[in-house]
């Protein structure tokens, strides 16, 4: 069984789940998995909706694939959804009062620039949850042109292990020695926006930096710096980028069995200049980044699998380095939210 806090966080926070460019056409959809089952993002005649993938008639899943373009039509008895309304064949065969009650189990959606956020019973509006991060994410979302790749598989660890791993740079030279480690990131600077955090770290490898500077004329980057940036969007998501040329949006969603993490990453690239539109130039670069990212996440998933599930994640007294300070911040946020949930807090509220 997963800890109670996992479902509570899933229900009460906004989650960054997609970029607008992933669902451009009517009937485009994405399916993500999390502790609450499936999360479908669907383009319903130009409006992006989010719902739980469960047909309200008798529970059949509407969309089994991870993504695609399909009508929202149940394969069991033909119930459908279109233009904001359920479409039910032979409505006269049901009692009118029953039909009045029936609805798709849809979730709240909100945009931060071109990033789509989803929430079920949010404690605040999205802007309040994001604090000053909203402006940063909006700018980056406008730089992104389109998605290049998607990877998804389970991490064999609790989601908090995966998030804490992504929150600290100390493991990079050990776990990613031939991949991310080759950037030779300098210590960088952490900034905090409510429960969210941002690492901005200069690249120390001069040869790689020169190479990245050489291709700057191909990308129309307006909202990023010439460094490595990793943004933690509390509680389950990250957005990272090198020089703003490409972005990786990662979700580390808790699972129902508590020992797995539903991991998905989408890689995007920024708008190209007219020079960059020459595909022959840009294609090998994007393929290289895709391969590197995929190796990095494999390495992370391997080390996370090796972390003992018996090691206490709630230990506020853990020994953490100064560069692991974002983990301390994350744990404090979780502890504060747990206190809000406790009966004594409710009694005084």
List interacting residues with ligand FES (CB under 6 A).
Answer: 55, 57-60, 74, 76-79
Q: 170 CB contacts (<8 Å, ≥6 apart)?
A: 321, 323, 324
Binding mask 247-286 for Fe ion (x = CB under 5 A): ----------------------------------------
d(CA 193, CA 197): 6
> Taking contact as CB under 5 A, which single stretch among the options 71-79, 190-198, 293-301, 313-321 is the one that binds Fe ion?
293-301
For ligand FES, the closer of residues 59 and 83 by Cβ is: 59
**Do the Cβ atoms of 303 and 175 come closer than 8 Å?**
yes
Cβ density class 1-30: b for 16+ within 10 Å, e for less: ebbebbbbbbebbbbbbbbbebbeeeebbb
Q: What share of the chain is helix, strand, coil (3-state, %, to 5)?
A: 35, 30, 35
Decide which of Fe ion, ligand FES, none touches 50; Cβ closer than 5 to 8 Å per partner kind: none
What stretch of H or E contains 67? strand 67-69
- Residue 300's binding partner out of ligand FES, Fe ion, none, with CB under 5 to 8 Å set by partner kind: Fe ion
Q: What is d(CA 338, CA 62) in angstroms, rounded to the nearest whole number?
A: 34
243/294 Cα distance (integer angstroms): 18
Q: How far is the CB of 262 from ligand FES (least distance, A)?
A: 24
Least distance (Å) between residue 100 CB and ligand FES: 17
Task: Compute the least distance from the CB of residue 176 to Fe ion, in Å.
Answer: 6
Nearest to 249 by CA among 137, 123, 110, 124: 137
Identify which of 248, 211, 236 has the alpha carbon closest to the alpha carbon of residue 226.
211
CB of 73 vs ligand FES, minimal distance in Å = 9
Judged by beta carbon, residue 44 or residue 143, the one nearer ligand FES is 44
Smallest distance, ligand FES to C-beta of residue 95, A: 16
Between 44 and 300, whose beta carbon lies closer to Fe ion? 300
**Residue where the block lists tokens 């940063």:** 136
Give which of 53, 63, 67 is closest to 22, Cα–Cα.
Answer: 67
| Beta carbon of residue 96, minimum distance to ligand FES (angstroms, whole number) | 18
Give min distance, CB of 324 to ligand FES, in A.
48
Nearer to Fe ion, 302 or 335 (CB): 302
Is there binding between residue 164 and Fe ion (CB under 5 A)? no
Question: Is the Cβ of residue 55 or residue 167 nearer to ligand FES in the bound state?
Answer: 55
**Which range, of 2-10, 142-150, 183-191, 299-307, touches Fe ion by CB under 5 A?**
299-307
Determine which helix (DSSP H) or strand (DSSP E) holds 282, and give its type and residue range.
helix 279-305
C-beta of 77 vs 189, nearer to ligand FES: 77
Cα 24 to Cα 51, 68, 288: the distances in Å are 18, 11, 26
- From the list 6, 33, 300, 324, which residue makes contact with Fe ion (rule: CB under 5 A)? 300
User: Which residues here bind Fe ion, judged by CB under 5 A?
Assistant: 300
């Amino acid at each position: 069984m997963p800890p109670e806090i996992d479902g509570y966080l899933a229900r009460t926070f906004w989650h960054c789940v997609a970029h607008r460019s992933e669902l451009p056409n009517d009937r485009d959809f994405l399916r993500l998995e999390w502790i609450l089952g499936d999360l479908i993002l669907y383009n319903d005649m130009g409006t992006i909706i989010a719902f739980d993938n469960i047909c309200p008639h008798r529970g059949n899943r509407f969309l089994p694939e991870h993504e695609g373009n399909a009508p929202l039509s149940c394969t069991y008895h033909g119930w459908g959804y279109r233009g904001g309304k359920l479409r039910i064949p032979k409505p006269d065969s049901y009692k009118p009062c029953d039909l009045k009650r029936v609805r798709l189990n849809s979730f709240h959606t909100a945009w931060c620039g071109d990033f789509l956020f989803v929430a079920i019973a949010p404690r605040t509006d999205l802007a309040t949850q994001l604090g000053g991060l909203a402006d940063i994410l909006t700018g980056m979302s406008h730089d992104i042109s389109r998605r290049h790749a998607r990877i998804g598989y389970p991490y064999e660890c609790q989601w908090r292990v995966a998030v804490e791993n992504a929150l600290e740079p100390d493991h990079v030279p050990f776990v990613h020695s031939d991949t991310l480690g080759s950037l030779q990131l300098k210590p960088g600077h952490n900034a905090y926006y409510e429960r969210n955090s941002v690492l901005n770290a200069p690249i120390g490898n001069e040869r790689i930096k020169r190479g990245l500077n050489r291709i700057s004329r191909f990308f129309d980057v307006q909202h990023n710096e010439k460094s490595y940036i990793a943004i933690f969007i509390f509680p389950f998501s990250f957005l990272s980028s090198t020089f703003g040329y490409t972005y990786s949006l990662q979700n580390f969603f808790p699972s129902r069995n508590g020992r797995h993490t539903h991991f998905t990453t989408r890689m995007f690239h920024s708008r190209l200049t007219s020079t960059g539109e020459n595909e022959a130039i840009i294609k090998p670069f994007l393929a290289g980044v895709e391969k590197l990212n995929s190796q990095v996440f494999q390495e992370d998933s391997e080390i996370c699998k090796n972390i003992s599930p018996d090691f206490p994640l709630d230990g506020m007294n853990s020994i953490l380095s100064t560069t692991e300070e974002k983990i301390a911040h994350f744990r404090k946020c979780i502890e504060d939210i747990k206190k809000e949930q406790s009966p004594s807090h409710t009694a005084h509220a």
